[in-house]
Chain A
Amino acid sequence: MSQDLFGIHGKALELRSQRMGVLASNIANAGTPGYKARDIDFTAAIKAADAGASADQAAGAATLYRVPVMPSLDGNTVELQNEQLAFSENAVGYSTTLEFIRGRVDTVKRALRGD
């Protein structure tokens, strides 16, 4: 039902939210020895979700370890500037998706009010 109303945007918002959690985990573990940074390949995840997978399945299948530009000596692969960039990019994507959903809600509300 919500899938019909919001199209792909419902799942996109879910995926954006999950990716935000993964990136926040990376930022939190910036100083943890041996921590391997992860990220969700959003393009692959949204493709899988579009093909009918649930958001959880799609996110799980598209979660990959990040390849560091310059690995550090303690085995940690978090590169803070990349994580912050990905986090803000993801936040913008989240806002955009939210705006699409808001637009759809407004359309439906206008139709209901009849003005």
Chain B
Amino acid sequence: MKFVRRHLLTAYAIAAFAYLLVPIAIVIAFSFNDPGGRYNYTWQGFTLDQWRNWDGVPGLRDAMTLSLEIAVLASIVATVLGTLIAMALVRYGFRGRGGTNVIIFLPMATPEVVLGASLLTLFLNVSVVTFGFTTILIAHIMFCISYVVVTVKARLIGFDRSLEEAAMDLGANEFTTFRKVTLPLIAPAILAGLLLSFALSIDDFVVTYFNAGSEVTFPLFVWGAAQRGVPPQVNVMGTVIFIVALSFMVLNVLFQRRRESPAQA
């Protein structure tokens, strides 16, 4: 019984991860499919051709590259801007807090189609704008900020200020305190905000569609391709990104392990 109790949580967590990742498993599996036609619906045979010919679909690689560039940049900028807002909201009293909160919630509540269309209208009224990378990036930063604010705010609310005060009592100046005490403690929240922004950006369709000009991001490409059949190379690309991200984190873990070992010795 104790065995069950102790491992119930783990079992649940594994089930939850399975739920999250089973579709990914299917995507990965179908990247090895050998479909005769344009569609990739039924399993027809194992092949490595799609992997060998991973770049075989015109425009796919460019679309993915564009999406990644924008996602990385947008999530970093949005995280910085959002974290600052979160700090201001939690640590300071100031006029207009309620209004600020509303401004933060509104973008999340605005339906994408009107969000994208009205942003497009803004761009059209400012004639210097070139549609493409810039406009997409601006839009993505805009809708990601709110998510970062809410995420980081939650962490800052529970933050124990006495740790900072203790550090300063021990002679650390403001900057050192921030760098060595505050930042590490809110780092998980900042990372979470970054990840959420990245996810939002790399998956966005509607707002991007309006403001992309003739540029094509990965979601736009896939949505368009779906008209006539999504090529397996799309699965290949998704799999590659997934594996790269995982490997990155695995390396991160191993690297940390190395650093810790000498200390343990």
**A and B from one complex:** no
Residues of B within 8 A of A (CB): none
Q: Interface on A for B, CB 8 Å cutoff?
A: none
